[in-house]
Amino acid sequence: MFSQTWQVGLDIQSHCVRALAAQHRRSGWQLRYWWQQALPQPVLRDGYMENSEILITLLKQWRIRLPRHISLRIALPAQRVLQHSLPSPDYRLREPVRHDYITAQGLKQFPLDSQTLAMDYRIAPSNTNQLLLTAARQQELQQWLHCLQQANLQPQVVDITPSALCSMAAFAGLTRDAGLLHRLEQEWLWVAPRSMPFAYGVLPVSETGCVQQALAAMRAACPGLGEKEVYYSSVLDEPLPAGVSSWSPFTAFSQLHPPLPAQPTAFVLAGGLALRREDR
């Protein structure tokens, strides 16, 4: 049986909001809906949410267009999260003791007061003996959730943008040995090859200037990348820069219904969120 529920990825950026809805069918993924809307004022500053009233008004109007029951997924900006790895505990440790142990040990890895953090964990993509810990400030997470709640939206998944980018690359069939570079409005987001330990970074446009400088900074920050191929995506309508490879998130779908967006790679984050599995 295949679910009738739309899986909806919502990508909130400072100057624009994008969404993509998908359903999994016997023949593969079906694209049900896509949407983008420019914002009259920036709503994020360094990944921190501001001017939420503008966003709430827009999201209320958008919610009306969707089915009543959806599986909504959002991603926190990379700048607002912290990550560490932790050895996976002995497999003989059972729930709920296992969860309590991981949480207690995990919170010790972060420099902030544990009472101010919300933490999640998963098995590291490239090493099943390691757990990948992700933490965000409780206050900031609640601000995002409150904004969505005011628009009658309840996310089933809260992820981070590097994971959404990595997920979309996997669904699109990109090689695990390639790096990923995604151009946002004010920064580049890079993610290490999926064959390597999970790593990512944010490069401000004001500091890097051009794609070649961003690539150099990416390779310097991720030495294991070396001269491996880098796939490039962008929210901007621009020619493919030299030194990178093109790709489209829509290759992951077996059923598409035109018209499609003029800039397909602007939807890599929304797509990665829409296609990922729900957390268990």
Look up the CATH number of the domain holding residue 33. 3.30.420.40
Report the predicted TM-score, pTM, of the whole model to 2 decimal places: 0.93
Does residue 123 belong to any structural domain of this protein? yes
Long-range contacts (CB closer than 8 Å, 24 or more residues apart) made by 120-124? 120/158, 120/279, 121/86, 122/279, 123/88, 124/85, 124/197, 124/198
Does residue 13 belong to any structural domain of this protein? yes
Residues 239 and 267 in one domain: no
- Would you say residue 1 has pLDDT above 50? no
Residues 205 and 240 in one domain: yes
Residues 86 and 106 in one domain: yes
26-70 residue pLDDT tens: 889 999 999 999 999 999 988 889 879 999 999 999 999 999 999
How much is the average pLDDT of 128-143?
87
Residues 132 and 143 in one domain: no
Enumerate the β-bridge partners of residue 97.
Answer: none
How much is the average pLDDT of 160-177?
96
In the structure, what pLDDT confidence band is assigned to residue 238 with cuts at 50, 70 and 90? Answer: very high
Residues 14 and 116 in one domain: no
Q: What is the pLDDT of residue 208?
A: 85
How many CB atoms are closer than 10 A to CB 226? Answer: 9
Domain of residue 93: give its range. 81-136
CA-to-CA separations, 39 to 14, 64, 117, 266, in angstroms, rounded: 8, 18, 30, 15
How many CB atoms are closer than 10 A to CB 239? Answer: 6
Q: Residues with Cβ < 8 Å from 240, sequence gap 6 or more?
A: 232, 246
How many domains does one find in the chain? Answer: 3
- Would you say residue 160 has pLDDT above 90? yes
